[in-house]
Structure 1
């Protein structure tokens, strides 16, 4: 009797340290169980989702779970057994679990649950019932946990207790024995920074001036960032403003965007409430309407970012003429027009890092037409990929399997029409082609509409991709729409010129890293 081949699905909901320890422990226990059963582990790495919830409240999708479903649907799973450590690691959604069980039944794949020490056969009615009962229990427990968390959050808000991470400017003190939160005190270094920022804005200073001074003094930024291209950004004007809009600094508890005026927070105010209200009026006066609807002049201003500090790029003028003689070093005269009037030196536009307030100079610059050409090429190549539309989905829903099915349906319709065209050309039966196109094209449009419903992408991006001729569609867009498409798909990062590229003329494509969304 041949040994069964097993593939694992490993998952953990929270992995704040990023070590993947829990999935590794699941794998070790699974392998021990496989050895006892005499089964063989599939040579490919396990399906693995780290720091991913499986409940209906999850905010992020599970990439490898989607890959598992796709492999089962396309019959490329290539194993006899799907192994999970416990049922809830597979899913905490009944519908999702039912789909998985049905797919395993169709592909004659058994399900091994390590904590049960049991192999389930989805084609067996009793085994299938047991698996589905586990799914109902897992979803019930997930819903109970969610309700309990919401009650705890409401209770904490009404009691003036904090929720979530520690707020900049404060320090939490815990009981050394019980680990319970005892009190929240002003942070000896951060608290005065908050108060100083509030005082200076009330005095009429700008957010930029405050950020610049903080950076020059080496004041540590409010929040760390996981985005590598923004890790050196430091204090910015928006960061100062956002900090001072928080009612927590006025000793007020906020819940779901509402300030609970009747609740006294358990931490002291760094800014008294009346002063904080006055500060809000100064920062965002009611008569000031922020529209930001001026027409853009360049493709990537404010979109491309510096690869050193993460700051956005603006347009700057670079001198294209020679100011000094190469031999003598003497200044050269400015060019003149036909009347002898001096003209400015020739120049060209470059995208330039705006820098960080208080940090001298900029870090990178790249010629405008060069960066525009590189980013446009990368973007259009990305949009033309056959799998581009499978990257997004309805928030909170596992829709990848349906998207794949819709894409396959569209491809099938298009292949059928191609075959009909060939047959019509051979038989000179163009009436046949017209008849079939009239029948099939509505089906293609309906499938494309469903694909759009399943996607999180900007509708403008979808229309561009589904239009077929992406390059022609791109060329027809207005500049504002091109910027909208770029923002939705990619953040271009401009890096410094490498030592091997100094003095290089022409486009240096290696300097641009696309950060895909």
Structure 2
């Protein structure tokens, strides 16, 4: 008599509460049953760990697919497929139906350990039993999903944490019950999160931050350095600003936006800093990949006045570093002086609100703030007029004016914050000395972004270099001797065009 060979399919979706039977335990149980029945247990069972078999699962089950393929191809190497319980195979009736069809065609039976019996898919009653189990399993999955969804919605509305622990936080649990008590800043990780947001607001690139963190020995949960992609994922997490975001599946299917609630944990960064970083990361003009190292200011903005193309930095021919037409080699010019002229123009512009502020009509929130600002100013004007006309007493005006002045100051500060593009917000200053200090303290990547924002038509204009028309020597008084190349001769070749060249 031929000995039956049983090949197991072992699966577990999660074992967080200790209520699921692990794949190792399932394997031991099937081995024990085979020994009692006098069967041979195949040494290579199919195993899918941590993967859901319901319709709510988002990840494929590679070994389940291999089982189906081996049944279809006749390469199973066994006469019986063993599973711990029916739901371990699949919680989807359609999948079970296909599994039954393939097993029936291959003359392979099923053994369910919790039932202690064999099911033959060639038998109509056994097929019905397997289908009923699949339907029951699907129903249980639906009920579990509904419970989890409802629980998640309640926790979200209450601002409580849910899911994976974000980097920068730690969770405090009740030592007796293990229940979650609070989510608090991690003493070592939280400062790194703040550092990330501050550097991004200062226009550091993600790659530069990743290099700096690696040099400091900052590692992620897997013990590896953070990549720029991983840092970007951190930088867009609303949890750091104290927001609890919930996006139910039903809302996603309807195309509705996520729901946002105030979180119960302490934010790691101020909401205004978080908003600034989001604007920077989502700025359509932001470039995440650039040619070269991006270490020269002028190459970001200066154009050739002959062909309209970009300029690049060069030291070829043993000459001092110079800018040259990148596309056609139309011209070249001393880069040190061009950098100086462009930088001086930008620093001057950083103290000029007419060049750094956004015009109205480009931002709905800014327009709303300016409308509220105009209304408060009108109220103050009306209040003064009412006092002058003796329609209200000075005492009443004295009590009404302070709240209006306070609201005026708040709206004016918000207007300044919203009016300045994010790439310029860290540079803008009321005085030249402070603007120079801020400019000197920023990395070149931030300076290049500021140059791109200011050196455009409508602001400073496009800095454009033309061919030389005067090859004579410069005899300016500050020169000890006449010079052929100096800031004056370079300046005569540089114009600020109001239209793109």
1:63 aligns with 62
- What is the rounded CA distance, in whole Å, between the counterparts of 2:211 and 2:74 in structure 1? 59
The structure-2 alpha-carbon separation of the partners of 1:207 and 1:91, relative to structure 1 and needing over 3 Å to count, comes to closer
The structure-2 alpha-carbon separation of the partners of 1:253 and 1:87, relative to structure 1 and needing over 3 Å to count, comes to same
- What is the rounded CA distance, in whole Å, between the counterparts of 1:61 and 1:285 in structure 2? 35
Q: Tell me, what secondary structure is at the counterpart of 2:266?
A: coil
- 271, 274, 290: which one pairs with 2:272? 274
The structure-2 alpha-carbon separation of the partners of 1:274 and 1:59, relative to structure 1 and needing over 3 Å to count, comes to same
Instruction: Give TM-score scaled by structure 1 length.
Output: 0.49
- What is the rounded CA distance, in whole Å, between the counterparts of 2:64 and 2:267 in structure 1? 46
Is 1:96 matched with 2:87?
A: no
2:219 aligns with 221
- What is the rounded CA distance, in whole Å, between the counterparts of 2:106 and 2:51 in structure 1? 26
Instruction: Give TM-score scaled by structure 2 length.
Output: 0.51
1:73 aligns with 72
Matched residues, number: 282
1:48-447 matches, within 5 Å, as 48-218=47-217, 220-224=218-222, 231=224, 234-256=225-247, 260=259, 263-285=261-283, 288=285, 290=287
- What is the rounded CA distance, in whole Å, between the counterparts of 1:68 and 1:221 in structure 2? 39
Q: Tell me, what secondary structure is at the counterpart of 2:243?
A: coil
- What is the rounded CA distance, in whole Å, between the counterparts of 1:27 and 1:216 in structure 2? 46
Does the CA contact (< 8 Å) of 1:253 and 1:259 recur in 2?
no
> How far is 1:291 from its partner?
9.0
**CA RMSD for the aligned pairs?**
3.0
Does the CA contact (< 8 Å) of 1:12 and 1:53 recur in 2?
yes
Q: Tell me, what secondary structure is at the counterpart of 2:26?
A: helix
Deviations 1:201-227 (A, max 9, x none): 434544444433333222x234427xx
Q: Tell me, what secondary structure is at the counterpart of 2:262?
A: coil
- What is the rounded CA distance, in whole Å, between the counterparts of 2:115 and 2:98 in structure 1? 21
The structure-2 alpha-carbon separation of the partners of 1:235 and 1:31, relative to structure 1 and needing over 3 Å to count, comes to closer
Q: Tell me, what secondary structure is at the counterpart of 1:66?
A: helix
Does the CA contact (< 8 Å) of 2:280 and 2:286 recur in 1?
no
The structure-2 alpha-carbon separation of the partners of 1:274 and 1:83, relative to structure 1 and needing over 3 Å to count, comes to same
The structure-2 alpha-carbon separation of the partners of 1:68 and 1:244, relative to structure 1 and needing over 3 Å to count, comes to closer
- What is the rounded CA distance, in whole Å, between the counterparts of 1:189 and 1:45 in structure 2? 44
- What is the rounded CA distance, in whole Å, between the counterparts of 2:163 and 2:116 in structure 1? 38
- What is the rounded CA distance, in whole Å, between the counterparts of 2:280 and 2:61 in structure 1? 44
2:7 aligns with 7
Q: Tell me, what secondary structure is at the counterpart of 1:156?
A: helix
Deviations 1:414-458 (A, max 9, x none): xxxxxxxxxxxxxxxxxxxxxxxxxxxxxxxxxxxxxxxxxxxxx
1:39-54 matches, within 5 Å, as 39-42=39-42, 44-54=43-53
- What is the rounded CA distance, in whole Å, between the counterparts of 1:54 and 1:115 in structure 2? 18
Which 5+ residue runs of structure 2 have no aligned equivalent?
A: 292-316, 319-501
> How far is 1:125 from its partner?
2.2
> How far is 1:271 from its partner?
1.7
> Whose Rg is larger?
2
- What is the rounded CA distance, in whole Å, between the counterparts of 2:40 and 2:197 in structure 1? 65
- What is the rounded CA distance, in whole Å, between the counterparts of 2:12 and 2:96 in structure 1? 17
> How far is 1:191 from its partner?
1.6
Does the CA contact (< 8 Å) of 1:15 and 1:50 recur in 2?
no
The structure-2 alpha-carbon separation of the partners of 1:208 and 1:40, relative to structure 1 and needing over 3 Å to count, comes to closer
- What is the rounded CA distance, in whole Å, between the counterparts of 2:114 and 2:227 in structure 1? 51
The structure-2 alpha-carbon separation of the partners of 1:281 and 1:107, relative to structure 1 and needing over 3 Å to count, comes to closer
Deviations 1:12-70 (A, max 9, x none): 22379xxx98222212211221222222334x522222333221222232222222222
Does the CA contact (< 8 Å) of 1:11 and 1:49 recur in 2?
yes
- What is the rounded CA distance, in whole Å, between the counterparts of 1:145 and 1:21 in structure 2? 18
- What is the rounded CA distance, in whole Å, between the counterparts of 2:230 and 2:67 in structure 1? 41
- What is the rounded CA distance, in whole Å, between the counterparts of 2:231 and 2:94 in structure 1? 45
Deviations 1:472-509 (A, max 9, x none): xxxxxxxxxxxxxxxxxxxxxxxxxxxxxxxxxxxxxx
Deviations 1:277-304 (A, max 9, x none): 2332344435x2659799xxxxxxxxxx
Deviations 1:229-285 (A, max 9, x none): xx4xx2444444442322211111112395655x32010112221232233234443
> How far is 1:4 from its partner?
2.5
The structure-2 alpha-carbon separation of the partners of 1:36 and 1:255, relative to structure 1 and needing over 3 Å to count, comes to same
Deviations 1:94-129 (A, max 9, x none): 111112222222333222111101112222222221
- What is the rounded CA distance, in whole Å, between the counterparts of 2:90 and 2:286 in structure 1? 47
> How far is 1:167 from its partner?
1.4
Does the CA contact (< 8 Å) of 2:161 and 2:183 recur in 1?
no
The structure-2 alpha-carbon separation of the partners of 1:289 and 1:197, relative to structure 1 and needing over 3 Å to count, comes to closer
1:33 aligns with 33
- What is the rounded CA distance, in whole Å, between the counterparts of 1:238 and 1:104 in structure 2? 45
- What is the rounded CA distance, in whole Å, between the counterparts of 1:216 and 1:186 in structure 2? 23
Does the CA contact (< 8 Å) of 1:252 and 1:259 recur in 2?
no
Which 5+ residue runs of structure 1 have no aligned equivalent?
A: 226-230, 295-340, 343-517
